Amino acid sequence: MTDKSALQLWERWSPSRSLRNRDRHSRPHLPVFIGVLLALLLTACGSRPTRQPAVVMDSENDMALGMRAYQDTDYTQARNYFARALAQYRSVDARAGELNVLIDLADSALGQGEYMAARDYLGEADKLAVNENFAALGPHIALLIAYADMQAGDTQPAAAQLDALLNDPTTPADIRQAALFARTQTAFDLKSADTTAWLGKLGATLGKNPDALSTARYQWLQAMAARNNGDLQQATALYAKALNTYRAVYYRPGIAATLEEWADLSMQQKNWNAAKNQLQRALDVRLSMYDRTHSVRDLKKLSQMDTKLGDTAAAVQDAELATYLKDGGDPNQLSVQLQP
């Protein structure tokens, strides 16, 4: 990234809700289980009813529960369910199911800012997709690899990966739109001369009636453009619009991301009280998602704000809490501790 923390905003590179909630589990792994069931039927005696294997029901149930938790931005719970499903798929060598759940595990890890874990899952997924000829999921894996690169601060490789997706005519429409959002973000992070062009292309692609999350994210990017152009009043108005849009649909990653970016603007204006308020609210949201990575960053900035405000004791506490989380402390425990 440019002058921002390498792990600053997961929402910058998160896919649109249409992509993240699309039915990737429209049972692409079901043919594997159908084969298992047919084998059991063929070996059954006479017309004796065949009981569906527990692994089939358990894995499907865990995947459904995992997706529900994911959609509620409860990434820790989602990862727990997906991990259980992964073990079940592997127990019957269900390769398609295994690939899908690896992608979901990577996606959920990115939701918590854990790009290293996401890269591990994506490395496994990429090998599996190539070896088992699951080419249809290749673009989704490539998109998530670009997100992981962006979170790690490897913006140039991410931009190249996104360019490849955008230049490939076979890239699915939902992946293409998500890639265009991310590529526009990389243009901002790289301070590219063509940032305005990317933003204009994105706006034209969204059309007249984009969904709420696409609208909010586009407003958020417009706010960044206004900041770059020195129009801080317009940037403030756009952050307020984006925040209200995210809050209307209860999308926690977007709420936290907007508050964090708005806090940066407040710091730029030396409005320390406003920045502290925005960061504290963002921290509350991040902790609710069990997001250790971004919570640490918010606490470090809060320590800076308290120092600016002359509250040395609060600044020291902020720094200590950041260290606690960084060393593996429980975000839930910290959330309770910070309650007024």
My answer on whether 213 and 165 are in the same domain is no
Give how far Cα 246 sits from Cα of 202, 240, 263, Å.
Answer: 19, 10, 17
pLDDT at 331: 79
Give how far Cα 179 sits from Cα of 147, 171, 184, Å.
Answer: 9, 10, 8
Whole-angstrom distance, CA of residue 70 vs CA of residue 72: 5
pLDDT at 340: 56
Sites in the chain below the pLDDT cut of 50: 1-47
Whole-angstrom distance, CA of residue 11 vs CA of residue 262: 14
Q: Domain end: 203, 222, 240, which one?
A: 203
My answer on whether 135 and 53 are in the same domain is yes
> Residue 332: which CATH number?
1.25.40.10
Q: Domain limits at 78?
A: 1-203
My answer on whether 164 and 212 are in the same domain is no
My answer on whether 155 and 300 are in the same domain is no
Whole-angstrom distance, CA of residue 91 vs CA of residue 25: 19
For the entire predicted model, the pTM comes to 0.81
Amino acid at 122: L
My answer on whether 150 and 247 are in the same domain is no
My answer on whether 34 and 181 are in the same domain is yes
pLDDT at 207: 82
pLDDT at 54: 75
My answer on whether 220 and 196 are in the same domain is no
My answer on whether 131 and 230 are in the same domain is no
My answer on whether 83 and 227 are in the same domain is no
Whole-angstrom distance, CA of residue 189 vs CA of residue 5: 11
